[in-house]
């Protein structure tokens, strides 16, 4: 199994977000414009989510855990919605 470094994760997430933005401008109803930001969020947020999970396990609620909850809720609430 290969290991993705932080910079590789950041670059890949950035490419996914920029491509999603450009595809949204060109093709307003393409499913890729919805999937690409979700994949970028999962890709970039996995290490942060992992840290927040361990913090919850030890009953520590810090800013990382709170931001993870906010991003997860926002991401789940916006699945399938097209921006105007």
Average pLDDT over every residue of 22-51: 80
The count of domains in the chain is 1
| 1 located within any domain | no
| 38 located within any domain | yes
Of the chain, the percentage scoring pLDDT greater than 70 comes to 87
Average pLDDT of the residues of the chain? 81
Whole-number Cα distances in Å, 1 to 31, 45, 51, 63, 71: 29, 19, 21, 31, 28
| 66 vs 55: CA distance, rounded Å | 11
Over 80: is that where the pLDDT of 76 sits? no
Over 80: is that where the pLDDT of 30 sits? no
| 82 located within any domain | no
Burial of 20 (0-12, 13-18, 19+ CB in 10 A): buried
Average pLDDT over every residue of 10-30: 82
What pTM did the predictor assign? Answer: 0.65
| 70 located within any domain | yes
Range of the domain at 19: 6-77
Tell me what pLDDT residue 19 has. Answer: 85
Over 70: is that where the pLDDT of 21 sits? yes
| 68 vs 71: CA distance, rounded Å | 5
| 28 located within any domain | yes
Tell me what pLDDT residue 83 has. Answer: 58
């Amino acid at each position: 199994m290969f290991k993705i470094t932080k910079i590789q994760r950041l670059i890949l997430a950035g490419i996914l977000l920029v491509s999603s933005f450009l595809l949204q401008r060109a093709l307003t109803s393409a499913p890729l414009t919805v999937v690409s930001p979700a994949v970028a969020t999962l890709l970039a947020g996995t290490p942060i989510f992992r840290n927040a999970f361990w913090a919850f396990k030890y009953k520590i609620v810090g800013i990382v855990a709170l931001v993870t909850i906010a991003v997860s809720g926002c991401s789940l609430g916006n699945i399938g919605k097209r921006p105007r």
